[in-house]
Amino acid sequence: MQHETDFDAVYQGRESAQNVPWVPWNIGEPQPKLAELEPQGVFRSDVLDAGCGVGVTSLFLARLGYTVVGLDSAPSAIAAAEQATEGHDLPVTFDVADLTTLQGYEGRFRAVVDSGTIPAVPDDKRADYLVCLARSTTDDATLSILTFARDARSVMPKGPTLFSADELATLVEKDWEIDRLEPSSIAARLAPELGDKALGTDEKGRVLVPALLLVAHKR
Ligand SMILES: C[S@@+](CC[C@H](N)C(=O)[O-])C[C@H]1O[C@@H](n2cnc3c(N)ncnc32)[C@H](O)[C@@H]1O
């Protein structure tokens, strides 16, 4: 069963996620496995950073010249993202939005990047989330998702919904043709000893949590 997280409270430090007194997914840069997709031509403007958190993926892409919109339902995250852009002339905008009811962006985005958001959307709203992504994208759009895999549960006893590759494929394939769906990793600031239960740690001491990487294009 999904443990629903109050993300705004986590960003404000009023609640902890995964038993650490900081935001474990705030690593100060985009997830390396998503950043690796950029030179492969997966992203095209305008990009939707769906559930952008504090905006690191949006900023990474905007610095490379992409026009990016970062949307998140947590006002504290959007405030932090906006603060990070202050004084920089970058083609990025942030807004508070619920991506399960999103209106006003019909046919707008040529790429969607989801960095750990699909497992954070409540189980009973996930179909609505996918409807909103489909409605907000062009006919030639791409979708990139990095999400926790089933075997991440030993590292995260409570928390996000974990998908098998088949479950993830079933979720997206109504609107998206899958180009890649493969084992991957999410770098998280968790207790380093958890690396033994996961895929180890990276050179920055972050735990590499088992994940799935999906890249698809619109049907
Ligand atoms: C694990 S965090 C990942 C944040 C960011 N993508 C990153 O890589 O740092 C999941 C994010 O999804 C957001 N989220 C969850 N449900 C949402 C919804 N219905 N609409 C918009 N954002 C949502 C949360 O507020 C949170 O910022």
> Smallest Cα–Cα separation from 209: which of 167, 174, 166, 159?
159
> Could you tell me if residue 2 is inside a domain?
no
Residue nearest to atom 27 of ligand 1 (CA): 53
pTM listed for this prediction: 0.97
Give the gyration radius of the chain's Cα atoms.
Answer: 16
Q: What is the mean pLDDT of residues 62-77?
A: 98
Residue 52, ligand 1, Cβ within 6 A:
yes
Residue 121, ligand 1, Cβ within 6 A:
yes
> Could you tell me if residue 96 is inside a domain?
yes
What is the spatial order of strands in the sheet that 68-72 belongs to? 92-96, 68-72, 47-50, 109-115, 137-148, 207-218, 176-188
Domain containing 205: what range?
7-218
Reply yes or no on whether the pLDDT at 167 is more than 80: yes
Residue 117, ligand 1, Cβ within 6 A:
yes
Angle among Cα 20, 23, 29 to the nearest 5 degrees reads: 130
Reply yes or no on whether the pLDDT at 3 is more than 70: no
pLDDT at 2: 56
pLDDT tens digits, 84-99: 999 999 999 999 999 9
For a ligand 1 pocket test, name from 4, 7, 10, 68 the mutation site with the most ligand atoms within 8 angstroms of its C-beta.
7
> Could you tell me if residue 74 is inside a domain?
yes
Which atom of ligand 1 is the closest one to the Cα of 30? 8
> Could you tell me if residue 1 is inside a domain?
no
pLDDT at 124: 96
Instruction: Return the axis-axis angle of helices 56-63 and 75-85, rounded to nearest 10°.
Output: 30
CA of 151 to the centre of ligand 1 (A): 21
- Residues of the chain above pLDDT 70, percent: 99
Strands (E), 62-122: 68-72, 92-96, 109-115
Reply yes or no on whether the pLDDT at 101 is more than 90: yes
Distance CA 137, CA 41 (A): 17
Residue 18, ligand 1, Cβ within 6 A:
no
- 40: domain CATH number is 3.40.50.150
Report which DSSP code applies to 214.
E
Which atom of ligand 1 is the closest one to the Cα of 99? 20
> Could you tell me if residue 60 is inside a domain?
yes
> Could you tell me if residue 30 is inside a domain?
yes
pLDDT at 83: 97
Distance CA 144, CA 94 (A): 19
> Smallest Cα–Cα separation from 147: which of 58, 33, 37?
33
> Could you tell me if residue 209 is inside a domain?
yes
Reply yes or no on whether the pLDDT at 157 is more than 90: no
Reply yes or no on whether the pLDDT at 76 is more than 90: yes
Residue 128, ligand 1, Cβ within 6 A:
no
Residue 62, ligand 1, Cβ within 6 A:
no
Residue 99, ligand 1, Cβ within 6 A:
yes
38 CB-side CA count, 13 A = 18
pLDDT band at 191 (very low <50, low <70, confident <90, very high): confident
Residue 120, ligand 1, Cβ within 6 A:
yes
**How many domains does the chain fold into?**
1
Reply yes or no on whether the pLDDT at 205 is more than 80: yes
How does DSSP assign 131-167, residue by residue?
A: HHHHHTEEEEEEEEEEEEBGGGTTT-SSSS--B-HHH
Strands (E), the chain: 47-50, 68-72, 92-96, 109-115, 137-148, 176-188, 207-218
